[in-house]
Amino acid sequence: MSHFSYQNGVLHAERTPLSRIAEEFGTPAYVYSKAALLDNLAAYSDACQGRNALVCYAMKANSNLAILDLLARQGAGFDIVSGGELLRVIAAGGDPNKVIFSGVGKTEDEMRLALDKGILCFNVESIPELHRLNDVAGSLGKRAPVSLRVNPNVDAKTHPYIATGLKANKFGVAFDDALETYRTAASLPHLDVVGIDCHIGSQLLDDAPLLEALDKLIELIDTLDSEGIHIHHLDIGGGLGVDYGVAGDKPPVPVGDYLGRLFARIDAWRAARHDGRAVKVIFEPGRSIVASTGVLLTKVEFLKPGAEKNFAIIDAAMNDMMRPTLYGAWMDMQPVVPRESEKAVYDIVGPVCESGDWLARERELALQPGDLLAMMSAGAYGMTMASNYNTRGRAVELMVDGEQVHVIRQRENPADLFALETMLK
């Protein structure tokens, strides 16, 4: 169910017209639906009901404190990739003991912070990182819980910038090196080997690669068991795709169907082992939790017809939403109040001084200056990738709850952008 729908000819977020939101709070604006957020998390939680499982939201997708708070209240854990993200979790009331720390370049300070806060596990991605973490933990008189992020060399069949499970990617330990790396980890005095991790990529519309990766992890767990290295949790990562409205794309795998097939594979493996030992299953969804919860609301400033292209110049730009420029991503653009007049084909572009500043290309729309557009499924990798390029303040973030609208991050003004700068004397 979409919580963004047309009611009486106006696009609404839940029961609130986006036109009213634009009038009250201005544009560009990120507008999120609380109900959509909770429904998306519930799809995972319901499928995990009665299971030894934990959903750790990958907060790089959207790290607003209000969103983290809502997810934490529902029992979610968090997948982080920096010390700053850990501090966000804590500021939002999240439980550090439900935090998985991923990423290839953890600093000593980040490791100390995470050990001090008592996180659930470090997802380690190289032998040098193992040795650094062992030294840091030893200096604190602690033992660090670790899993290895194993790179299974499975093709996720997604955009190359968001594929992470191949030999050519920077992430993880190569599958062929994983056994020896686990032996190293088990030999270090200040590490506790507790898990195994894998994440092959993002925006996956087919679960076959994920299930292939799972089979390789299971094979490795059995080998580790035979050497006395016992794995207590299996982290299959995230990456499930969402519907961006791209014509011809196959629909994303429903969360319940994907988890059902994954749990069936795990159950069959456990039954074949005959030891009854429970292995906790951890998931790291990000995009599939937040993408469909938000839109980027923007206003048409000018229409600029041309011999080869027509341009609709809007007040949002690539600094507000990088996905089209960075990935060539196709994101649906909907008029807030559709017009009955004749349509034209537009490239929808922003005011930033770059030819790459476009949010949508070749869209057939009936537009006039002052019209409002909503970029759909913009809740993931929008605000977290936003910048201040051209000294543009980042957009206001709003959370809709029925007919109520809450400001969850104020719009930046130029003075905010100058605040940390100092001129020479």
Phi then psi dihedrals of residue 399, to 5 deg: -115, 125
- For the question of residue 353 being annotated catalytic, the response is yes
Q: Is 132 annotated as a binding residue?
A: no
Q: How many angstroms separate the CA atoms of 144 and 102, rounded?
A: 14
Would you say 237 and 200 are in contact if contact means Cβ atoms under 8 Å apart?
A: yes
Q: How many angstroms separate the CA atoms of 237 and 221, rounded?
A: 16
Q: Is 239 annotated as a binding residue?
A: yes
Would you say 300 and 373 are in contact if contact means Cβ atoms under 8 Å apart?
A: yes
Q: How many angstroms separate the CA atoms of 8 and 221, rounded?
A: 56
Q: Is 285 annotated as a binding residue?
A: yes
Q: How many angstroms separate the CA atoms of 78 and 355, rounded?
A: 37
Q: Is 238 annotated as a binding residue?
A: no
- Give the tokens for residue 137: 């933990």
Residue for token digits 């499930």?
240
Q: How many angstroms separate the CA atoms of 43 and 33, rounded?
A: 16
Q: Is 143 annotated as a binding residue?
A: no
Cis before 17 (ω within 30): no
Q: Is 323 annotated as a binding residue?
A: yes
- Give the tokens for residue 375: 């970029």
Q: Which residues neighbour 230 within 8 Å (Cβ) at sequence distance 6 or greater?
A: 224
Q: Is 105 annotated as a binding residue?
A: no
The residue annotated as part of the active site, out of 48, 121, 198, 353, is 353
Would you say 241 and 204 are in contact if contact means Cβ atoms under 8 Å apart?
A: yes
Known binding-site residue numbers for pyridoxal 5'-phosphate: 239, 284-287, 381
Known binding-site residue numbers for substrate: 287, 323, 327, 354, 381
Active-site positions read 353
Known binding-site residue numbers: 239, 284-287, 323, 327, 354, 381
